Amino acid sequence: MTLSRAELRRDLRARRAALTPGIRLAAADAVARHLGDQPHLREPGYVGGYWAVNGELPLHAVQLRLAPGQVWCLPIVQDDGSLRFAPWRAGDPMQPNRYGIPEPVLAPESTLEPAQLQWALLPLLGFDRRGGRLGMGGGYYDRAFSFRRGTDAPPRLVGVGYAFQELPELAAEPWDVALDAIATEHGFHPAGR
């Protein structure tokens, strides 16, 4: 029996929410180590992350291990539904967006277009080894990185999640943007391998 995307989202959200804080933190540390072992992800530039909510794999350990010359950025949802990215350091002002997710408080002219990132970490509910990503269903990341459809990096797009979120295969929708790689607590996996 094949589950619909809505059914997959419901199941994977429940499984992710059931993880204990200890499992989440251990996975976060493992993902930071795996990403840090990738020389092509140590290049200077802007690194897009996300503020983990609803059981998403936290990225604090990644932010603490950035290479010299890398600047951590968080997404900001714009009024038109697009995403821009804002450089952010711990202690910088934040405010909740319309979904209750903390975002940096920064003037729009000081934010970055997604194309200005060197690489970006994308949250997910599910993934396949070909680079398919199942998100929450809002399409924010697919719209933000639509310019990457059929083109090479930069930015490199790395899906971040737990190993149990791997699916045998995700049917691609026309608007989906493929990942270049996936990082879980079990390792770093280039897409297509």
pLDDT at 25 over 90: yes
Backbone φ and ψ for 190, nearest 5 degrees, come out as -60, 140
**Distance (Å, rounded) from C-alpha 47 to C-alpha 66?**
9
DSSP letter string, 150-168: TSPPSSEEEEE--GGGB-S
**Distance (Å, rounded) from C-alpha 189 to C-alpha 115?**
23
The pLDDT mean for the chain works out to 91
Q: Evaluate whether 145 touches 154 at the Cβ level (below 8 Å).
A: no
Give the number of residues written for the chain. 193
- Residue-wise pLDDT tens digits, 80-94: 889 999 999 888 999
Average pLDDT of the segment spanning 35-60? 93
Global confidence as pTM: 0.92
What pLDDT band is residue 9 in, cutting at 50, 70 and 90? Answer: confident
pLDDT at 193 over 60: no
DSSP letter string, 115-139: GGEEEEEEE-SEE-TTS-EE-SSS-
Q: How do the domains of the chain map onto residue ranges? A: 5-190
Beta bridge partners of 112: 85
**Distance (Å, rounded) from C-alpha 116 to C-alpha 112?**
6
Check whether domain 5-190 has CATH 3.40.50.10420, yes or no: yes
- Residue-wise pLDDT tens digits, 133-155: 988 777 899 999 999 988 887 99
What would the two tokens of residue 174 be?
Answer: 């026309």
